[in-house]
Chains A and B, each alone.
Chain A
Amino acid sequence: MIEINKRQENHYLLISVSGEADASSSIHLDKTIREAMDDNGPNILIDCTKLEYISSAGLGVFMSYIEEISRNSINFIIFGLSEKVLKVFGILGLDQLLTIKNTKEEAIAIIDGV
């Protein structure tokens, strides 16, 4: 089960992901990120505070946007990962290829160029 919410806050889009991003649910995550990339501004924050599990399917969704984020200079920032989920991002080094911050404040600071 996955639950995804998105809302515009100030100068960024906030996407909140809760539950489990696995082989059957990650398609929903992909759809939301695709829409955000197409429709919204250059600032996208992903709140993973309530993300309890991620498999290769969920990681693969994030991986597939690395190129586009870089090419289009998008601020795409993931925050709030639990230690166990962050470790999964680290297995293949995707934690080094995506922008990951501990807190929402730190993520916003990146957008504001602080």
Chain B
Amino acid sequence: MRKYVSEVLNEHHVSEIETNMIVLAIDEVCANIIIHGHRQNGELKVSLSIDFDEKGIEFEIIDYGHAFDIVSYEAPALEELIKNQHKGGIGIMLVKKIMDDIHFSSSTKHNKLKLYKKVSFES
């Protein structure tokens, strides 16, 4: 999945630094869906589509597991995680910092997460 996103972004002349950030955000979202939404059931499917406009990239991620709304999820403060020596809890924080716009919707059929990232495409 990381390799696929990297390749698509490279083809569209996104810089290496920005590509890495975007790949990270998508990786975090998918890891989150697999761990929390699907309770590590390998049978369930996650689909990803990537759409470009002149100012940026929209990612749409659809899964069929338990709904987990990252938009309304409030992560604990970083200081608390550090003080309590936690190893987890920063994945969604990273996604929210990296992406410019995030929308989550859930129906009886599936969960849909749309992520938008403004990008300056290299010529």
Please tell me the size bucket of the interface on A: 20 to 34
A64's partner among B31, B78, B85 (CB-CB below 8 A) is: B85
In the complex, the answer to whether B87 meets A53 with C-beta atoms within 8 Å is no
The answer, yes or no, to whether A55 is at the interface (CB within 8 Å) is yes
Choose, from A7-15, A40-48, A82-90, A104-112, the stretch at the interface. Answer: A82-90
Q: Output the least CB separation between B72 and chain A (Å).
A: 19
CA distance A61 to B85 in the complex (A): 9
Q: Which of B22-59 contact A (CB under 8 A)?
A: 23-24, 27-28, 31, 35
Bound Cα distance A60, B89 (Å) = 8
- Residue numbers in A under 8 Å from B88 (CB-CB): 56-57, 60
- The CA-CA distance from A81 to B115 in the complex, in Å, is 28
With a cutoff of 8 Å between Cβ atoms, the chain B residues found around residue A53 in the complex are 2, 20, 23-24
Is the CB of A63 closer than 8 A to any CB of chain B? Answer: yes
**Contact of A56 with B91 in the complex, beta carbons under 8 Å:** yes
Main secondary structure of the interface of A (DSSP, over half): helix
- B residues in contact with A57, CB < 8 Å: 31, 87-88, 91
- Output the residue of A56, A59, A88, A91 with the most chain B CB within 10 A: A56
**Cross-interface CB contact of A87 among B20, B27, B81, B86, cutoff 8 Å:** B20
A87 lies within 8 A of B83 (CB): no
A-facing residues in B65-94 (Cβ within 8 Å): 78, 81-83, 85-91, 93-94
Is the beta-carbon distance between B24 and A88 smaller than 8 angstroms?
Answer: yes
B20 — which chain A residues lie within 8 A by C-beta? 53, 84-85, 87-88
Within 8 A of B (CB), among A51-90: 53, 55-57, 59-61, 63-68, 83-85, 87-88
Judged by a CB distance under 8 angstroms, whether A114 is at the interface is no
Bound-state CA distance A86–B24 (Å) is 13
Are A91 and B87 touching (Cβ within 8 A)? no
CB <8 Å contact, B27 and A92: no
Instruction: Say yes or no: A22-B27 contact (C-beta < 8 A), given A63-B86, A63-B90.
Output: yes
> In whole angstroms, how far apart are the Cα atoms of A65 and B86 in the complex?
9
Q: Are A87 and B91 in contact (CB under 8 A)?
A: no
Given contacts A53-B20, A68-B85, A84-B16, contact A23 B31 (CB under 8 A): yes
